[in-house]
Homo-oligomer: A and B are copies of this chain.
Amino acid sequence: MAEGKEGVIPEPTLARLHRYQAVLRRLRREGALTVSSERLGEEAGTEAALVRKDLSYLRCTGQRGIGYDLDTLLAVLREALGPAEPRPLIIVGAGPLGVALAGYAGFELLGYRLLGLFDSNPARVGHHVAGLVVRHARELPETVAETGAKLAIIAVPAARAQETADLCVAAGLRGLLNFAPCPVKVPPGVVVRQMDLSEELEILNYQLTCAAHRAANPARGG
């Protein structure tokens, strides 16, 4: 019944597309040339019909009776999920978490280029991390302007999260991945995604509690 926007991909679909991408890469390494929606669904933990529905948003080019050409599908996904050229990425916060993330082995493979590691603590400025030198946070606007970076990872303590977000926005960054355990507010046009350990742990815990509960009690009406 959604007759409005035809070029829009629902967010849950989007999240799955990334999982498909990961699965497809692995399958390709394993020598596969094609995949069926059923196989892809099984590997990605979802159902065949949903896979097809998801892929239908991409005007994808499967072959009936055979499945999807793996490389074609990967190409389509790559195009849909973002341009192929490395996207500049910045990390703000050179504490343990920031440093660990800077060493994350996946960025290059995923099409990101980690451009800088910033911190407002002078004691940390100048340290060498993952082939980069930690720079002072005040240099952030300059770097953003020079490189056209749009994405940053916030890896600072909760107490500094909001000011860091403000700094990023002022510097011209437009997408923030916030690892601080508290939400931050940003003006319209800026997007934040919360990587909240606590939230994930709680959901995990809840799901476990639910499962255990369901195993113990047969039902529970209000």
A202: chain B residues within 8 A (beta carbon): 14, 18, 81-82, 110
14 further contact pairs, Cβ within 8 A, besides A19-B199, A87-B205, A112-B201: A6-B221, A8-B210, A14-B206, A18-B199, A18-B202, A18-B203, A89-B201, A104-B181, A106-B181, A150-B208, A151-B204, A174-B211, A175-B205, A191-B208
A2 at the interface (CB under 8 A from B): no
A101 at the interface (CB under 8 A from B): yes
From A8, which residue of chain B is reached at the shortest CB distance? B210
Contact indicator per residue, chain A 187-204, by CB within 8 Å of chain B (1) or not (0): 001010111111111111
A141: chain B residues within 8 A (beta carbon): none
List CB contacts (< 8 Å) of A1-23 with chain B: 5-9, 11, 14-15, 18-19, 22-23
A176: chain B residues within 8 A (beta carbon): 204
Complex A-B, nearest 4 residue pairs according to Cβ-Cβ distance, in ascending order: A100-B100, A6-B222, A96-B100, A175-B204
- Number of chain A residues close to chain B: CB under 8 A: 68
Contact of A7 among B87, B105, B222 (CB under 8 A): B222
Q: What's the Cα separation between A81 and B198 when bound, in Å?
A: 11
Sample of 17 A–B contacts (CB below 8 Å) = A6-B222, A9-B206, A18-B198, A19-B194, A26-B182, A81-B206, A82-B205, A82-B206, A99-B100, A150-B205, A175-B204, A175-B208, A176-B204, A189-B211, A191-B207, A193-B200, A195-B200
Q: What's the Cα separation between A152 and B87 when bound, in Å?
A: 32
Q: What's the Cα separation between A96 and B197 when bound, in Å?
A: 17
